[in-house]
């Protein structure tokens, strides 16, 4: 094998697309997927790569120092693509400690293990940290986040991710660990856990349940199809300048309410409902505390240095996403049973 790569959080939404891309595209890389399988991790996301000879799954917690140290000795990784995280803002408002443990302590554990493993030879080593645009805080009506925008995280989730970004840079600066950081906007696509806006609303429309729009619905996000995100990570991983940061975005801003109206129209067509059926489910609910008004990414560095651009138009990506969820109702009902029901009752009571 030419490389041995640890992917953390590979059973989650973005992680499973990352694992699939790396396993299929690079048969001479050994891909080790390390995941705790929290409520958000699902090995059913990876059934198609399960039997591949260059793929191994290890169940474990990045917060567990002994376990991480053993895994690093066992495989002698030359690179890490770190995606494991608690990732939902609303959960971070209810349970910030879990975010601090996994996103901060877990990241530092991995950095520490990499530092120990690579202490005699840093040649060809890489710690790739997958982060979010939310570390930059919230924008007003205008402006874009660049790689030079000061950090100003506003939620426990974004604060924990910002902290982990700082630790990655500090290990680069202090111990010369070669690193890359990417900060991406909101992802959407197949296999996203239905607590995030799009899969939640697709699920609720199918079940004729209310669509809980926070506040006045005039909050703006930039949306990128998940496969375009993992293609960008692959490109940066192989060709990015070491110890640099790259913003990744779709150049595709939507106000929540406009996006929800578009989704409702499309769902009516797919479900053969009379026009306007899904829109009637829209229910304005209490706003998220500290809700960030607008995120928007300037991805020009990635475009100009590495010639990256999203491959899909948003309407194509949305269409593919809807079709995937409609064809995978079993996946959806599996992941919405159990613990998630408790979360749902608590969040939307």
Active site residue ranges: 133-134, 157
The stretch near ligand TYD (CB under 6 A) out of 27-35, 146-154, 214-222, 233-241 is: 214-222
Among 71, 85, 211, 236, binds ligand NAD (CB under 6 A): 85
Closest separation in Å from C-beta 39 to ligand TYD:
15
Single residue of 33, 54, 79, 87 touching ligand NAD by CB under 6 A = 87
CB-nearer residue toward ligand NAD: 236 or 281? 236
249 binds ligand NAD, rule: CB under 6 A: no
Pairing of strands 79-82, 3-8: parallel
- 245: partner contacted, choices ligand NAD, ligand TYD, none (Cβ within 5-8 A by kind): none
Closest CA to 87 of 190, 193, 188: 193
76-79 long-range contacts (CB < 8 A, ≥24 apart) are 76/4, 76/117, 77/4, 77/5, 77/6, 77/32, 77/114, 77/117, 78/3, 78/4, 78/5, 78/124, 78/125, 78/126, 79/3, 79/4, 79/5, 79/6, 79/125, 79/126, 79/127, 79/128, 79/237
**Where do the DSSP E strands lie in the chain?**
3-8, 29-35, 55-59, 79-82, 126-132, 179-184, 186-188, 211-214, 220-225, 245-248, 253-255, 282-285
- Pairing outcome for strands 55-59 and 126-132: unpaired
- Choices 39-47, 95-103, 207-215, 323-331; region in contact with ligand TYD by CB under 6 A: 207-215
Interaction mask 171-190, ligand TYD, x per CB under 6 A: ---------------x----
Task: Candidates 117, 197, 202, 226: give the one binding ligand TYD (CB under 6 A).
Answer: 197
User: Which structure tokens are listed for 223?
Assistant: 């949306």
Choice between 281 and 301, CB closer to ligand NAD: 301
Which residues of this chain interact with ligand NAD, rule CB under 6 A? 8-9, 11-15, 35-38, 40-41, 61-63, 83-87, 102, 106, 130, 132, 161, 184, 186-187, 193
Which residues of this chain interact with ligand TYD, rule CB under 6 A? 89, 186, 196-197, 200, 212-214, 219, 221, 256, 288
């Amino acid at each position: 094998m030419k490389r041995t790569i640890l992917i953390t959080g590979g059973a989650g939404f973005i992680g499973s697309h990352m694992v699939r891309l790396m396993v299929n595209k690079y048969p001479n890389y050994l891909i080790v997927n390390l995941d705790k399988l929290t409520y958000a991790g699902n090995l059913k996301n990876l059934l198609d790569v399960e039997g591949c000879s260059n793929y191994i799954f290890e169940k474990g917690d990045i917060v567990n120092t002994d376990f991480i140290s053993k895994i690093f000795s066992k495989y002698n990784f030359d690179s890490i693509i770190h995606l494991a995280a608690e990732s939902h803002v609303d959960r971070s408002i209810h349970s910030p400690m879990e975010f601090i443990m996994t996103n901060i302590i877990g990241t530092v554990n991995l950095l520490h293990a990499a530092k120990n493993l690579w202490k005699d030879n840093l040649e060809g080593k890489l710690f790739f940290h997958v982060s979010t645009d939310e570390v930059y805080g919230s924008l007003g009506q205008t402006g874009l986040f660049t790689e030079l925008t000061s950090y100003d995280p506003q939620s426990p989730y974004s604060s924990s991710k910002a902290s982990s970004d700082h630790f990655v840079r500090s290990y680069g600066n202090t111990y010369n660990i070669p690193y890359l950081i990417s900060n991406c906007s909101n992802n959407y696509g197949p296999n996203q856990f239905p607590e995030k806006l799009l899969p939640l609303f697709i699920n609720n429309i199918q079940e004729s349940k209310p669509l809980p729009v926070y506040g006045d619905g005039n909050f703006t996000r930039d949306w990128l199809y998940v496969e375009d995100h993992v293609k960008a990570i692959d490109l940066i991983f192989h060709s990015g300048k070491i110890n640099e940061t790259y913003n990744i975005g779709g150049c595709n801003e939507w106000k929540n309410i406009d996006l929800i109206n578009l989704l409702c129209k499309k769902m009516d067509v797919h479900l053969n409902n009379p026009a306007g059926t899904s829109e009637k489910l829209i229910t304005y609910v209490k706003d998220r505390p500290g809700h960030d008004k607008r995120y928007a990414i300037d991805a020009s560095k990635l475009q100009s240095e590495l010639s990256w651009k999203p491959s899909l138009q948003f309407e194509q990506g949305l269409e593919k996403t809807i079709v995937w969820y409609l064809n995978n109702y079993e996946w959806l009902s599996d992941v919405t049973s159990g613990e998630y029901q408790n979360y749902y009752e608590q969040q939307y009571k």
